[in-house]
Each structure stands twice: as C-alpha cells, then as structure tokens.
Amino acid sequence: MLFLVATPIGNLQDITLRALDTLREVDFVASEDTRKTGLLLKHFEIKKPQIAFHEHNEDRAGERIIGLLREGKSIAVVTDAGTPGIADPGYTLIQRALEEGLPFTMIPGATGAIMAVVLSGLPVHSFTFRGFPPRKSGPRRRFFAVDAFSPHTLVFYESPYRLPAFFEDALAVYGDRPACIANDLTKMFEKLDRGSLSALLEKVKKEKARGEYIIVIQGVGKRDKTESEDDDE
C-alpha cells in the first residue's frame, strides 16, 4: 500500500496522529530530502529505512518504489514539508500506481497554500494554485498571462531569491492588484504582508528575503475585466 503522508510545514506539533501511526507502521519512507525527513523521524523516535525520491531521480526511484509495492511492501511518501503530490514528484508516482492498479491513499495534514489563501484576506470562494513560476522573466510573464483575466484568487510558491523579479513581472502582467506575501507559515517568525503589488514590490526590494514564500494575488473583478477589454479595442 502507498501512503501519501502530509508532514508539518514548520511547526512539528502540526503532525497528525494518523501520520505518526502510518510512519511507524510502513516498511519504507520515500523522502524528498532524506536528511530533513531523518530529523523528523528522529524527533518522533521512529526508525525506518528511507528511499530518496525527488525531481532528480524520480524515474529510477519511482521504479524501485513501484517494485516494492508489487511485492506487497507498504511505503509512505513524504515531501520536505506539507502535502506530497503538490509541486513535487509525488504526482508521477500516483500516475504510476494508477497504471499498475496499486492501491494508495492520503494521510491529510498541513498545506501551506490553503493556509496562505485563508490568511491573505483575499476572496476564498474560488482560487487557482499555480505552484512555482518559471525562473526567467519571459517565460514567467507568459505563465502569469494565462490567468491575466481570471476572476479567481491566484496562489504561487516562489524562492526568496526571485521575489523582486516575481513582483516586477506580476505587476506588469496583472496591474496593481491587492496581494499578500506569506512567509514561513507556522514557524516562530511567521509573517504576512498585505498590500498592492506595487507596494509589496517596494517592500521586497528593501528587505532581505529568507525562508519559504507563498504569494496570493486577487483575481480580476468583473468591472476590471470590462475596462481591460475596452482598452484592448
């Protein structure tokens, strides 16, 4: 059986009882980062053999995991933090399990994207998760443009090293919309900054970025969409 196990995104107290029970009972733990997962397992006094499973070895490691599942072994898949299968190789493993007819399930828990949307104060009736945008400006702007007229709140993950470039391109594509930066959620120095894209751009230019970032941007309103379409005519 394959278990997709959500782990804490910062605060170890957020791990669930089901997650701990599953990690104790499985035969192997497939980890995006064996060092980080090793610290998590050690904290909860769990000893399990690990299989490194990340974007650089997902084909080879995925084949090994599928082989073990065929043999009847149980495997827990964990990411560095949060829910596996979202912006990580877990998706490809799910596809392989489906193709092979192998059973799998999710042990739910913390997800940074959901927490960021709720805390942003922006509309939450519908939102689109976009994950990590491309690293270079041209592809990133084209990536943003897909949702230029979307009414849905947009959610992105981004590296601290690319925050200024992210906001420059977002401002160019989306205009000066309300947005929110969520930094190190659930950790000791959790921080949320809310404001217009232009104001947040100036802020990230002045501050030294560190940690993990989630950016939430408000979707286009009906009035804004009409005005933008009128400008194009």
- Across the chain, mean pLDDT equals 93
* pLDDT at position 232 over 90: no
Domains of the chain: 2-107 (3.40.1010.10), 112-231 (3.30.950.10)
Over residues 93-136, the pLDDT tens digits come to: 999 999 999 999 999 999 999 999 999 999 999 999 999 999 99
Indicate the pTM of the whole model. Answer: 0.88
Mean pLDDT of 182-188: 96
Give, rounded to a whole angstrom, the gap between the first and last alpha carbons of the chain.
Answer: 56
**Residue 121: predicted pLDDT:** 97
Is residue 231 pLDDT above 80, yes or no? no
Give the C-alpha separation, 78 to 41, whole Å. 11
The region of weakest confidence among 27-36, 54-63, 101-110, 113-122 is: 54-63
Q: What is the 3-state secondary structure (H, E, C) of 137-175?
A: HHHHHHHHHCCCCCCCEEEEEECHHHHHHHHHHHHHHHC
pLDDT for 214 equals: 98
The set of residues, in sequence order, having a beta carbon less than 8 Å from that of 231 and lying 6+ positions away, is none
As a whole-number percent, the residues of the chain with pLDDT over 90 amount to 88
> Are 207 and 199 spatial neighbours (Cβ–Cβ below 8 Å)?
no
Task: Please give the structure tokens belonging to residue 120.
Answer: 């942003």
Pairing of strands 153-158, 104-107: unpaired
Express each pLDDT in 139-174 by its tens digit: 999 999 999 999 999 999 999 999 999 999 999 999
**What's the confidence (pLDDT) of residue 233?**
53
pLDDT band at 55 (very low <50, low <70, confident <90, very high): confident
